[in-house]
Amino acid sequence: MRTISIKANIPENHKLMVDIPEDLPIGPADVVVVIVPEIGAVEKRGETAGDILKSPLLGMWKDRKDITDSLEFARKLREHSETRKEV
């Protein structure tokens, strides 16, 4: 499995055009859209444990069949994001 990260802004018409790197194999892919809060929004609001439990992000991967060990999967995502090179 290969994971890439593409940053984008969702336009008003909600139609997102994305250029995929040409070295990716052709075929099925899962596309996950993560809505990132505005910078400082979390700090201003003061998230509580209850707020986090109500978050739509909690459990967003629960039905994924390719993730057998969620802790290991999360560790690999963090490791990948910490070592990737910005373009």
Query: What's the pTM value of the predicted model, to 2 decimals?
Result: 0.36
Cα dihedral 11, 39, 7, 29 in deg (nearest 10)? -90
41 has a pLDDT exceeding 70: no
Residue 6 within a domain: no
Tell whether 57 is covered by a domain: yes
Average pLDDT, the chain: 80
Percent of the chain whose predicted confidence (pLDDT) is above 90: 3
Which token pair is 5? 């990260």
What is the length of the chain?
Answer: 87
Residue 63 lies in domain: 41-83
Reported as a single tens digit per residue, the pLDDT across 2-12 is: 778 888 888 89
Task: Look at residue 28 and tell me if it is in a domain.
Answer: no
